[in-house]
Amino acid sequence: MSVKTLEIDGKMVTGVAGTTLFGVAWDNGIHIPRLCHIGGLSDVGACRLCLVEIEGQKRLQPSCLTAVEEGMVVRTDTPKLKAQRRLIVELLFAERNHVCSVCVMNGDCELQELASELGIDHVRVRYQNPSLAVDITHERFGLDHNRCILCTRCIRVCDEVEGAHTWDMFGRGTKSHIISDLGQPWGESDSCTSCGKCVQVCPTGALFNKGVPVAGMRKDRKFLKYIVTAREKKQWIE
C-alpha cells in the first residue's frame, strides 16, 4: 500500500494511493462542500460543489472522483471557487420550490446548511417555480419533487446497498426527475422493499417519513457506514 504526499490549501497531507482528494481533505480537517457524495456509496461528481483547483491542470476537477497523486498542489477555497459554489447553490434553490419554512427537514437539511455556510441570503437568478408532483402513495414514506436536488444518492443506495434499484433518473435537463420502477407511483412499486435507506440518505426533505411535522424530521446516516464496514471487513462495528 503506497502512500502519496500532496499539498492541500498549503497544508502537507498524506493519503493512501487510490483514495480520493475529497476523502484525504476531510480526514485532514479541510471540509470541501458536497451534496451528492456520501461515504459508503460510489461517487458521481454530479453536484459540482467539490470542484478544486489542481496546479498544472487547466480544468477544475471534482475532488470526490480525483485520486491522490504524489506532489499534487490543490486549492479548495479560492475566492473564484467560492463564488462558483455560491452560484451553483443559488441555481439549485431557483430550480425547484425549496421552501424551508414548510419543510420537514428545516434545521437539519444539507442544502440549507450549505447555503448558510456560503452566506447565501438571497438568490440572484429568477425562481423557476415549476409545478411538481408529490408522491405519497407509499405507506410509510413520501417523495416531494419540489425539494429534490437530483443528487442521485437514493438511486445509488437502493442499487448498491439494498440491491433493489427501485429508483432511477428520468428525463433530461429541467425535466429530469427520479422515478420508482418504470414510472409507477412509489406505493405500487414491486421492487421497493420499504427499507427506507433512500429516505435516510436524502440530503433534503425530498424523501421523508410520513406523518412528521414541519422541521420534525432528523435523518440517521450512520447506518450506511455500519453496513458498508460490515460488508467490506466482515465486522459489525460502528
Q: Which residues of 81-112 are buried (b: 16+ CB within 10 A; e: fewer)?
A: beeebbebbbebbbbbbbebeebbbbeebbbb
- Write the CB contacts of 211 (distance below 8 Å, at least 6 apart in sequence): none
Output 55 or 188, the one with its CB closest to another protein: 55
Residue showing cell 443528487: 151
With binding defined as CB under 8 A, does residue 123 bind another protein?
no
With binding defined as CB under 8 A, does residue 88 bind another protein?
yes
For 233, the grid coordinates are 471487513
Output 174 or 193, the one with its CB closest to another protein: 174
Q: Which stretch binds another protein (CB under 8 A): 22-30, 34-42, 122-130, 138-146?
A: 122-130
The count of chain residues that interact with another protein, using the rule CB under 8 A, is 13
Q: Which stretch binds another protein (CB under 8 A): 40-48, 66-74, 179-187, 198-206?
A: 40-48
Output 52 or 105, the one with its CB closest to another protein: 52
Task: Classify burial at 175, counting beta carbons within 10 Å of its beta carbon; exposed 0-12, middle 13-18, buried 19 or more.
Answer: exposed
Output 86 or 177, the one with its CB closest to another protein: 86
| Integer angstrom CA distances of residue 7 from 2, 24, 69, 114, 203 | 17, 11, 10, 25, 30
The minimum distance between CB 126 and another protein, in angstroms, equals 6
- Write the CB contacts of 189 (distance below 8 Å, at least 6 apart in sequence): 138, 166, 180, 181
Q: Which stretch binds another protein (CB under 8 A): 33-41, 59-67, 156-164, 175-183?
A: 59-67
Q: Which stretch binds another protein (CB under 8 A): 29-37, 123-131, 197-205, 217-225?
A: 123-131
Q: Is 143 helix (H, G, I), strand (E, B) or coil?
A: strand
Distance CA 223, CA 176 (A): 29
Binding mask 155-194 for another protein (x = CB under 8 A): ----------------------------------------
In angstroms, how far is CA 215 from the centroid of its own chain?
A: 20
Among residues 165, 160, 156, 211, the alpha carbon closest in space to that of 192 is found at 165
Q: Which stretch binds another protein (CB under 8 A): 55-63, 105-113, 162-170, 214-222?
A: 55-63
The minimum distance between CB 233 and another protein, in angstroms, equals 32
Please identify which residue in 15, 23, 40, 45 interacts with another protein, judged by CB under 8 A. Answer: 45
What secondary structure, in 3-state letters, does 177-188 show? Answer: EEEECCCECHHH
Residues that bind another protein (CB under 8 A): 45-46, 48, 51, 59-60, 62, 84, 87-88, 124-126
